[in-house]
Structure 1
């Protein structure tokens, strides 16, 4: 899996113009129900965020691409939950992991729609929180408000984490090897 991540990051380094589009794809995968379990999107996004620290890529364009991708994935997951909710609960991996549904339900009861915002940052909730919002009958406007806010914030934080890491590594490299 590490080789795949390295290859994707190397591709982005060589082909800057595709970076926002690639961020869109990986952010969508990270916020789409169950794809987030299979695809190492966060690691790729953090790695690409480091390029912004060195000026290789523009942070804003990466952030826009990642934010739009996160919206695509989470709105699609909401729609899946709204349209196919009962059927999804009977399918794998949902039937094999009833604790996912229980954690999402507990979060909805405790925090209400803010769970949508927090779901972007909670690895354990991300595979199901958007599905559960659709299944629970949350209105689209309410979901959209908290989801868009969460998408923009999450994309910025993940990429900024990589950018700050890039600054620290560059500083340490310069300090050690001058």
Structure 2
């Protein structure tokens, strides 16, 4: 139900920080620490909604992975220390949705992720309060994981109340 973000970052401390903050913001994360591992995840295992990618990775770099991202139609945000204009232009021309330079503000990254997911039609809006979850995309309400049947007006009112506590 949650959006899945693939975090491809060779610095484990940064990767763990990214994953922790993304999970706190309601995303599911999968981490890869080098280009080959990322490629394997992309091609064989993971069905992610977006990738946050460092460019300078061991093995296959972030630019070289773009072909694999395009095959999966996976939006990419480059998050890298490469702050020269040539790298930014190259990343965006290769097809990245966004390009951020380290050091970065986590809140800014979260907003950029949200906007890319919305722009690409991959945003999964989920409201969760205690044991109740509302999937805004499918208009389904779940209590303790079980579906709750609501009429359209009841659903709209329930969502309105949840959004305006």
What TM-score do the two structures reach when normalised by structure 2? Answer: 0.28
- Structure (1/2) with the larger strand percentage: 2
- Structure (1/2) with the larger helix percentage: 1
Question: Highest relative contact order (Cα 8 Å, sep 6+), 1 or 2?
Answer: 1
What TM-score do the two structures reach when normalised by structure 1? Answer: 0.26
